[in-house]
């Protein structure tokens, strides 16, 4: 039940500050990007002519593009459900307090304070195939970031790790927000923990879950930092993502129009997924 | 008497001039990309300059770290694109990826222009290959500051124990295949733009036309018809077949831990390698491996140079003074000793500091000797789509070994990929 | 008994998850040789080895950088949350023409990689005369679509009674936000502040681009100044990272209790 009012200027007023900055610092540069995608752009980024869809045609003709697309989708479709399941499980597990709660809740949430370059560097050292601690401690012989069959798995482990802290805190907060009386009623009805979870808790935390799924999806689609530091898209392009391709084949190769095209494709895809998630919201997400 | 008077007058005038200059100090800005110890050294030299030459001539330099070379180039490109020429520094440390943008900048102050204004300047002390590396289409853009070449590092202790001498050719490395054991690789490498150009250069070929892009925009590969690419890829495949080559990037960690026996890497890694290895094993250094017995020796120059931007007469002159100071024998010798970069100044190589270093660690001599021996015709590669090129070479050659493609197929893949990129760049930058 | 077991299990999981961080922190005390020794170790030979930390503070003016980062991260997070709060309020408590379009427009700001915006924003910020200023560092990060989105979700789950109360009281929107809405979802706000603070604390490329003087640099630039070209002096980088991580962890511990303020607590307000 929303606060239904006749036309009011108020909501626009409240949106104004954010919209001003969004237009000034995101959509204005983005408009330039769109212009670059259909133009001939020289090595300094100056538009020198009109290219029509030629830049897109060139991008789609590049082998790297379809590989990067597959890699990005793979990363997203694995990262999102894994992060969601893990954080839900952890939050559900720690919902009921024990004497050690303050300690392990802090431990589980702390990853959100660690920066991407730092944890990436630590993973690089830990997962070094021959001098790293992980292979040694587990007695493994895995090439991790040096083997094209395992590099993506290594990147995924890292991105999932990076997402856990923040999402865990949010979901735990949502769990704790479920009114006690609702849970009490269900307990009196004799509902088991599983039924409780699916019929009461899950619907009630669904708004938070929508947020978690949506933001994780966007972040996964934008993955590039760990790739840059750990694998440079290799071995054999196995970890080249769209945004990484934008960076190397675009900006670092004086090809601004290619970068603009990749950026647009990634934006369109991500936007499409987000829109699909919101269609789901209308049916499944439960707001009180 | 008259003479004395005029002399006194001149002296007084000169002193007055210096006093004037001191009163209005010329402030200039230096952008650099040197981090860690090299960064501390850069700060030290600038401080020294400000305290000596700078004080005498009324120049004060502010040194600012601008991130990696790529980040500094991004910033420079942004300013050039926005037309903010005033915001550019007076002197900037630039690597090869910034050459094209710099050369096209409206207020670029090239060494050629500086020499025209300062005919007394003498660059003959700077090593020719290092100097030549910073030419583009005939113009001398900057002066070499951090100069390096690619050399072979090897675990001398392990190789000698097995009765092997320093590897000189890829064949020599292949002969060591028996040393590969559980957790130990002999040699790990995936060729990229500079390393492939080295091997092709040894076979007398360029990677791309227009003399590896140094005399004009490269338009196509220049190593296919002459068979050089085929010859190298064949040697590379043979090496892989011996089991001595791991199809992965070299890992400094593994090399230092004694789990990789041979590594080709920048000569500038030497100081940190010596420090990290400590006394764990003896570090051997030899020249860049030759493709085969028929190939000549040598490797291209890499590193960075100092370029200048024109911000008016006084600052331009000050920038030239600073550039000369930082490329002087004294600074170059000290910088080489502290970092492992090569002294790009002949007098620096003669200096006591450098000789003392060689006496203690003869390994330092290898890179310098290779630099002197490398023929002037072997140039490092300048292409517009630099990162794209770099990774395509790596991935395509890595794929050849991983997916067991034939040399012919790989040559074709490389030709299609790389020529396509060059053509696209030419379309946008005719 | 089951509770004790559960507590211990939680502790184990927590330690496992944080193991990489512990490993990294311990690495800040190691000597270079310890990183390549066999077998690999987790703990340093001696926690008394502070030479890496000494290097951090001598090779870069790290204290100044920490201060710069603190100022910019706080400024960004406060402005960001304030604007996100207003926007989320509009989306959750009003129905208006163009609501969906505007919502997606704002959400879309998350779907553009920073590199795409870099050069143009540099141009804008320099035209505004904000190069080498704190505001110049922060201004491009004021849009917090993620925070707005989360707050919207949070508001939409607030009990109907809260909203009705707001209407009945006839109190102004701003007063309603400040005196009822914000306290009600204080936990969420704190979490989002933390997230925002850490994100801004960790930005690297933009602060590097818009500052030209050494004094205006932030802590992440300082860490880059510690790395070698090959990036293999792990001990110094990890010591620098440990120093950079401390403020975020302190803030986290200080705010931990507030994060756990439950929604149930808030609903009694209505």
pLDDT tens-digit series, residues B20-49: 444 568 999 999 999 888 899 999 999 999
| Best of B251, B395, B417, B423 to mutate (most A CBs within 10 Å, chain A) | B395
Task: Collect all residues of chain C within an 8 Å Cβ-Cβ radius of residue A133.
Answer: 23, 40-42
**pLDDT score, position B319:** 96
B16-20, B150-154, B328-332: lowest mean pLDDT where?
Answer: B16-20
Cα–Cα distance measured from residue A62 to residue C154, given in angstroms and rounded to the nearest whole number: 44
Q: Tell me: the pLDDT tens digits for C51-85?
A: 889 888 887 888 999 999 999 999 999 999 999 99
Find the closest chain C residue to A224 by CA distance. C113
Cα–Cα distance measured from residue B125 to residue B328, given in angstroms and rounded to the nearest whole number: 9
> What percent of chain C has a predicted confidence (pLDDT) above 70?
90
Q: How confident is the model at residue A218 (pLDDT cuts 50, 70, 90)?
A: very high
Cis peptide preceding C39, ω within 30 of 0: yes
**pLDDT score, position C262:** 47
- The mean pLDDT value of chain B amounts to 90
**pLDDT score, position C267:** 34
The pair of three-digit structure tokens given for residue A244, joined into one six-digit string: 């990484």
Q: Provide φ and ψ at A60, rounded to 5°.
A: -70, -20
**Distance to chain C for A140, nearest Cα, Å:** 14
**pLDDT score, position C260:** 66
**Distance to chain C for B124, nearest Cα, Å:** 30
Please check whether residue A14 is in contact with residue C87, taking contact to mean a CB–CB distance below 8 angstroms: yes
Please check whether residue C201 is in contact with residue C248, taking contact to mean a CB–CB distance below 8 angstroms: yes
Its ipTM equals: 0.90
pTM summary value: 0.90
The angle at the Cα of A269, spanning A264 to A273, to the nearest 5 degrees, equals: 145
What is B148-301+376-428's CATH number? 3.40.190.10
pLDDT at position C266 over 50? no
B36–C236 C-beta distance less than 8 A: yes
Q: What is the mean pLDDT of residues A249-267?
A: 93
Q: What is the mean pLDDT of residues B283-296?
A: 93
Residue in C10, C110, C263 nearest the CB of A100: C10
**Distance to chain C for B64, nearest Cα, Å:** 6
Cα–Cα distance measured from residue A121 to residue C232, given in angstroms and rounded to the nearest whole number: 10
pLDDT at position C199 over 50? yes
Q: How confident is the model at residue B8 (pLDDT cuts 50, 70, 90)?
A: low
**Distance to chain C for A148, nearest Cα, Å:** 22
Q: What is the mean pLDDT of residues C117-138?
A: 91
**Distance to chain C for A2, nearest Cα, Å:** 6
pLDDT at position B70 over 50? yes
Task: Collect all residues of chain B within an 8 Å Cβ-Cβ radius of residue A251.
Answer: 74
Contacts of B104 (CB under 8 A, 6+ apart): A43, A44, B80
B47 in C contact zone (CB under 8 Å): no
| Best of B30, B63, B67, B90 to mutate (most C CBs within 10 Å, chain C) | B67
The angle at the Cα of A66, spanning A62 to A68, to the nearest 5 degrees, equals: 100
Q: How confident is the model at residue C263 (pLDDT cuts 50, 70, 90)?
A: very low
Neighbors of chain A by Cβ distance (3+ pairs < 8 Å): B, C
Residue in A2, A11, A112 nearest the CB of C198: A112
Q: What is the mean pLDDT of residues A89-111?
A: 88
User: Does 3.40.190.10 match the CATH number of domain B24-147+302-373?
Assistant: yes
The domain segmentation of chain C, as residue ranges, is 19-49, 60-267
C215 in B contact zone (CB under 8 Å): no
The pair of three-digit structure tokens given for residue C77, joined into one six-digit string: 């997070």
Q: How confident is the model at residue B413 (pLDDT cuts 50, 70, 90)?
A: very high
Find the closest chain A residue to B430 by CA distance. A42
**pLDDT score, position B10:** 56
Q: How confident is the model at residue C268 (pLDDT cuts 50, 70, 90)?
A: very low
The pair of three-digit structure tokens given for residue B294, joined into one six-digit string: 């028929």
A6-10, C53-57, C181-185: lowest mean pLDDT where?
Answer: A6-10
In 10 A of CB C3, how many CB atoms? 12
**pLDDT score, position C269:** 30
> What percent of chain A has a predicted confidence (pLDDT) above 90?
54
C6–A177 C-beta distance less than 8 A: no
Cα–Cα distance measured from residue A133 to residue C38, given in angstroms and rounded to the nearest whole number: 10
Which of B221 and A2 is assigned the larger pLDDT?
Answer: B221
| Best of A121, A128, A131 to mutate (most B CBs within 10 Å, chain B) | A131
Q: What is the count of structural domains for chain A?
A: 1
Q: What is the mean pLDDT of residues A7-29?
A: 91
Return the exposure string of A42-56: e unless at least 16 CB atoms fall within 10 Å of the residue's CB, then b. bbbbebeeebeebbb
In 10 A of CB A211, how many CB atoms? 23
Question: What residue has token string 């299990």?
Answer: C9
Q: How confident is the model at residue A184 (pLDDT cuts 50, 70, 90)?
A: confident
A246 in B contact zone (CB under 8 Å): no
pLDDT at position A192 over 60? yes
| Best of A254, A256, A261 to mutate (most B CBs within 10 Å, chain B) | A254
Please check whether residue C216 is in contact with residue C68, taking contact to mean a CB–CB distance below 8 angstroms: yes
The CA-based dihedral angle spanning residues C246, C250, C256, C258, taken in that order and rounded to the nearest 10 degrees? -130
Q: Do B24-147+302-373 and B148-301+376-428 have matching folds?
A: yes
Residue in A112, A121, A263 nearest the CB of C113: A263
The domain segmentation of chain B, as residue ranges, is 24-147+302-373, 148-301+376-428
**pLDDT score, position B19:** 47
| Class of the domain covering C60-267 | mainly alpha
A179-183, A247-251, C76-80: lowest mean pLDDT where?
Answer: A179-183
- Taking phi over 0 as left and psi of -120 to 50 as alpha, with beta for the rest, C28 belongs to alpha
**pLDDT score, position B20:** 47
Please report the residues numbered 157 through 216 in chain A whose beta carbons come closer than 8 angstroms to any beta carbon of chain B. Answer: none
Find the closest chain A residue to C164 by CA distance. A3
B36–C59 C-beta distance less than 8 A: yes
Q: What is the mean pLDDT of residues A102-120?
A: 89
Q: Name the most confidently modeled range: A230-239, A270-279, B353-362, C205-214.
A: A270-279
pLDDT at position A273 over 50? yes
Cα–Cα distance measured from residue A161 to residue C18, given in angstroms and rounded to the nearest whole number: 9
B174-178, B308-312, C51-55, C158-162: lowest mean pLDDT where?
Answer: C158-162
Task: Collect all residues of chain C within an 8 Å Cβ-Cβ radius of residue B78.
Answer: 118-119, 122-123, 209
pLDDT at position C182 over 90? no
C230 in B contact zone (CB under 8 Å): yes
**Distance to chain A for C106, nearest Cα, Å:** 7
**pLDDT score, position C246:** 86
The CA-based dihedral angle spanning residues B335, B336, B341, B342, taken in that order and rounded to the nearest 10 degrees? 130
B152-166, C154-168, C192-206: lowest mean pLDDT where?
Answer: C154-168
Cα–Cα distance measured from residue B189 to residue B265, given in angstroms and rounded to the nearest whole number: 10
Cα–Cα distance measured from residue B327 to residue B344, given in angstroms and rounded to the nearest whole number: 8
Q: What is the mean pLDDT of residues B262-283?
A: 90
Q: What is the mean pLDDT of residues C185-191?
A: 89
**pLDDT score, position A189:** 77
pLDDT at position A191 over 80? no
C86–A113 C-beta distance less than 8 A: no
Query: If you write DSSP's letter for every residue of A211-239 in order, what string do you get?
Result: HHHHHHHHHHHT--HHHHHHTTT-STTTT
**pLDDT score, position A4:** 47
- The mean pLDDT value of chain A amounts to 89
B5-9, B197-201, B329-333: lowest mean pLDDT where?
Answer: B5-9
The pair of three-digit structure tokens given for residue B385, joined into one six-digit string: 């789509």
**Local structure of A141: helix, strand or coil:** coil
Contacts of B26 (CB under 8 A, 6+ apart): B58, B59, B60, B314, B315, B317, B318
End-to-end CA distance of chain B: 68
Please check whether residue B177 is in contact with residue B374, taking contact to mean a CB–CB distance below 8 angstroms: no
Residue A53 structural domain: 31-61
B65–C214 C-beta distance less than 8 A: yes
C123–B87 C-beta distance less than 8 A: no
B249–A128 C-beta distance less than 8 A: no
The reply to whether A101 falls in a domain is no
Task: Collect all residues of chain B within an 8 Å Cβ-Cβ radius of residue A228.
Answer: none
Q: Provide φ and ψ at B68, rounded to 5°.
A: -70, 170
The reply to whether A142 falls in a domain is no
**pLDDT score, position C38:** 76
Q: Name the most confidently modeled range: A141-150, B179-188, C65-74.
A: C65-74
Cα–Cα distance measured from residue B241 to residue B235, given in angstroms and rounded to the nearest whole number: 10
B280–C225 C-beta distance less than 8 A: no
Could you tell me which of C155, A258, A195 has the C-alpha nearest to residue B384? A258
Beta bridge partners of B246: B188
- The mean pLDDT value of chain C amounts to 85
Which of A176 and B396 is assigned the larger pLDDT?
Answer: B396
């Amino acid at each position: 039940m929303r606060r239904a009012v006749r036309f009011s200027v108020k909501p626009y007023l409240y949106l104004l500050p954010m919209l001003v900055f969004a237009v000034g610092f995101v959509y204005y540069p983005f408009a330039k990007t769109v212009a670059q995608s259909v133009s001939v752009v020289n090595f300094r980024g100056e538009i020198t002519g009109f290219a029509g869809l030629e830049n897109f045609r060139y991008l789609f003709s590049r082998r790297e593009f379809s590989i990067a697309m597959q890699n990005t989708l793979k990363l997203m479709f694995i990262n999102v459900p894994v992060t969601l399941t893990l954080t839900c499980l952890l939050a559900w597990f720690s919902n009921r307090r024990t004497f050690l709660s303050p300690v392990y809740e802090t431990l589980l949430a702390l990853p959100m304070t660690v920066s991407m370059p730092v944890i990436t560097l630590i993973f690089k050292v830990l997962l070094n195939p021959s001098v790293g601690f992980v292979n040694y401690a587990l007695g493994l012989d895995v090439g991790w970031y040096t083997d094209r069959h395992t590099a993506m798995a290594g990147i995924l482990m890292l991105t999932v790790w990076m997402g856990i802290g923040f999402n865990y805190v949010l979901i735990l907060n949502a769990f704790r927000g479920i009114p006690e009386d609702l849970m009490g009623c269900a307990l009196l009805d004799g509902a088991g923990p599983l039924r409780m979870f699916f019929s009461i808790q899950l619907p009630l935390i669904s708004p938070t879950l929508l947020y978690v799924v949506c933001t994780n999806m966007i972040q996964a689609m934008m993955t590039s930092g760990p790739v840059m530091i750990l694998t440079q898209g290799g071995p054999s392009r196995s970890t080249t993502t769209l945004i990484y391709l934008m960076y190397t084949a675009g900006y670092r190769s004086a090809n601004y129009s290619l970068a603009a095209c990749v950026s647009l494709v990634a934006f369109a895809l991500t936007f499409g997924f987000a829109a699909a998630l919101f269609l789901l919201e209308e049916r499944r997400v439960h707001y009180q | 008497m008259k003479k004395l008077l005029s002399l006194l007058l001149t002296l007084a005038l000169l002193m007055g001039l210096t006093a004037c200059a001191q009163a209005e100090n010329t402030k200039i800005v230096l952008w650099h990309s040197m981090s860690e110890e090299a960064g501390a050294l850069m700060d030290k030299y600038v401080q020294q300059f400000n305290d000596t030459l700078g004080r005498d001539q009324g120049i004060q330099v502010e040194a600012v770290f601008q991130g990696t070379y790529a980040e500094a180039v991004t910033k420079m490109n942004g300013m050039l694109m926005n037309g903010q020429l005033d915001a550019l520094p007076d002197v900037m440390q630039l690597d090869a990826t910034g050459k094209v943008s710099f050369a096209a900048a409206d207020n670029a102050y090239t060494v050629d222009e500086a020499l025209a204004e300062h005919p007394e300047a003498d660059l003959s002390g700077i090593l020719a290959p290092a100097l030549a590396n910073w030419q583009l289409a005939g113009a001398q853009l900057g002066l070499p500051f951090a100069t390096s070449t690619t050399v072979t590092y090897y675990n001398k202790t392990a190789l000698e124990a097995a009765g092997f001498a320093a590897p000189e050719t890829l064949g020599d490395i292949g002969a060591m295949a028996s040393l590969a054991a559980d957790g130990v690789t002999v040699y790990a490498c995936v060729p990229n733009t500079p390393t492939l150009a080295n091997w092709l250069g040894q076979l007398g070929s360029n990677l791309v036309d227009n003399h590896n892009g140094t005399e004009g925009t490269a338009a196509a590969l220049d190593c296919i018809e002459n068979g050089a690419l085929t010859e190298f890829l064949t040697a590379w495949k043979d090496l892989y077949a011996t089991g001595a080559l791991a199809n992965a990037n070299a890992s400094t960690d593994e090399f230092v831990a004694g789990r990789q026996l041979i590594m080709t890497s920048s000569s500038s890694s030497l100081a940190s390698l010596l420090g990290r290895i400590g006394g764990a094993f003896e570090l051997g250094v030899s020249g860049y491996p030759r493709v085969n017995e028929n190939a000549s020796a040598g490797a291209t120059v890499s590193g960075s140079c100092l370029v200048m931007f024109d911000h008016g007469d006084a600052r331009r002159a000050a920038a030239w003074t600073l550039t000369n100071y930082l490329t002087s024998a004294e600074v170059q010798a000290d910088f080489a000793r502290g970092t492992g970069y090569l002294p790009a100044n002949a007098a620096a190589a003669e200096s006591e500091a450098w000789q003392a270093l060689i006496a203690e660690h003869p390994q330092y001599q290898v890179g310098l000797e290779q630099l002197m021996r490398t023929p002037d015709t072997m140039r490092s590669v300048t292409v517009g789509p630099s990162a794209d090129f770099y990774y395509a070479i790596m991935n395509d050659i890595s794929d050849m070994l991983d997916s067991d493609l034939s040399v012919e197929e790989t040559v074709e893949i490389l030709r299609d990929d790389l020529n396509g990129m060059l053509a696209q760049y030419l379309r946008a930058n005719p | 008994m089951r509770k004790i077991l559960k507590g211990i299990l939680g502790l184990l999981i927590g330690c496992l998850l944080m193991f990489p961080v512990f490993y990294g922190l311990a690495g800040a005390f190691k000597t270079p040789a310890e990183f390549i020794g066999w077998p690999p170790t987790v703990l340093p030979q001696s926690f008394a080895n502070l030479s890496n930390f000494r290097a951090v503070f001598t090779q870069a003016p790290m204290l100044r950088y920490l201060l710069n980062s603190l100022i910019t991260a706080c400024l960004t997070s406060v402005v960001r949350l304030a604007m996100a709060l207003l926007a989320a309020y509009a989306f959750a408590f009003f129905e208006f023409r163009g609501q969906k379009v505007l919502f997606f427009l704002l959400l879309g700001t998350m779907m553009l990689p920073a590199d795409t915006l870099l050069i143009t924003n540099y141009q804008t910020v320099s035209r505004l005369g904000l190069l080498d200023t704190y505001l110049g560092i922060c201004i491009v990060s004021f849009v917090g679509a993620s925070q707005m989105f989360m707050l919207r979700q949070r508001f939409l789950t607030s009990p109907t009674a809260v909203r009705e109360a707001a209407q009945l009281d006839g109190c102004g929107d701003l007063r309603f936000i400040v005196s009822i809405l914000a306290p009600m979802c204080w936990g969420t706000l704190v979490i989002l502040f933390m997230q925002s603070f850490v994100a801004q604390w960790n930005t690297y490329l933009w602060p590097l681009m818009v500052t030209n003087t050494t004094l205006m640099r932030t802590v992440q630039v300082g860490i880059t100044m510690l790395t070698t070209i090959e990036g293999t002096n792990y001990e110094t980088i990890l010591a620098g990272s440990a120093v950079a991580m401390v403020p975020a962890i302190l803030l986290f511990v200080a705010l931990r209790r507030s994060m756990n303020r439950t929604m149930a607590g808030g609903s009694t307000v209505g």
